[in-house]
Amino acid sequence: MVEYISDLMIPLAILAILLYGKRKKVNMYDTFAEGTKESFNTVLSVFPNLITMLIAIGIFRNSGLLDFIISLFSPLLKALHIPEEVLPLAIMRPISGSGSTAILSDILVNNHPDSLVGKMASTMMGSTETTFYVIALYLGSIGVKKHRYTLKASLIADLAGMVAAIAISYIMFA
């Protein structure tokens, strides 16, 4: 049932957007084509950070060091029923957007994207944003130096999101 709803979402979203555009008398063909111009530039801007991080992660993973570090946390993760592969993502997610994209790609390549681990990692990725970056960017832009309780509340939110993502993934995909 859930799968059915998920399957419907994208086609319905496309239809809804097209119908609304028609109502507003937008030239949809031209507008759509105009929008796609961004895709090359967007990927181009992402590429340097992505490949730089992925190469580091490739080395990290293949040297055996990642497995070693995970094994240190293994008993705790097992007790909590958390698959150990998602630990690096949970840590990296609030810190770096490109870093977490790289880790997620790494996880999806090494465990099929449709596996439990793959879906869990995907869910975790979308549950929260790059906390430190967003706060620094927005407060920095107006010269605010004291963030008061912003960081604490944001990190609590991130943690809640990660825990929820893990639990929800278990319920839905295990």
Partner 1 sequence: MINKIWFYMMAVSIVYGILNGNAKAITEGVIASSVQTVEMCITFIGVWALWLGLMEIVKKSGLITVLSNAMYPIIKRLFPDVPKGHPALGSISLNFTANMLGLGNAATPFGLRAMKELQEINEDKEVATDSMCMFLVINTSSIQLIPTTVIALRASLGSSEPTSIILSSLLATSVSTIIGVMAALVLRRKEAIRERKKNYG
| Residues within window 20-79 making contact with partner 1, judged by CB under 8 A | 20-21, 23-24, 26, 28, 31-36, 38-40, 42-43, 46-47, 50-66, 68
Applying CB under 8 A, among 83, 86, 103, 118 the residue interacting with partner 1 is: 118
Q: How far is the CB of 106 from partner 1 (least distance, A)?
A: 8
Q: How far is the CB of 18 from partner 1 (least distance, A)?
A: 7
CA distance 70 to 77: 9
Applying CB under 8 A, among 82, 85, 101, 117 the residue interacting with partner 1 is: 101
Q: How far is the CB of 118 from partner 1 (least distance, A)?
A: 7
112-121, long-range: CB < 8 A, 24+ apart: 116/83, 116/169, 116/170, 116/173, 116/174, 117/83, 117/85, 117/86, 119/169, 119/172, 119/173, 120/83, 120/86, 120/165, 120/166, 120/169, 120/170, 120/173, 121/85, 121/86, 121/89
Q: How far is the CB of 77 from partner 1 (least distance, A)?
A: 19
116 makes contact with partner 1 (CB under 8 A): no
CA distance 75 to 81: 10
The nearer residue to partner 1, 43 or 80, going by C-beta atoms, is: 43
Q: Is 119 exposed, middle or buried (0-12, 13-18, 19+ CB in 10 A)?
A: buried
Applying CB under 8 A, among 6, 72, 75, 174 the residue interacting with partner 1 is: 6
Task: Tell me the longest C-alpha to C-alpha distance in the chain.
Answer: 60
81 makes contact with partner 1 (CB under 8 A): no
**Residues 146 to 165: which contact partner 1 by CB under 8 A?**
146-150, 152-154, 156-158, 160-161, 164-165
CA distance 140 to 138: 5
CA distance 129 to 170: 22
12 makes contact with partner 1 (CB under 8 A): no
Q: How far is the CB of 121 from partner 1 (least distance, A)?
A: 9
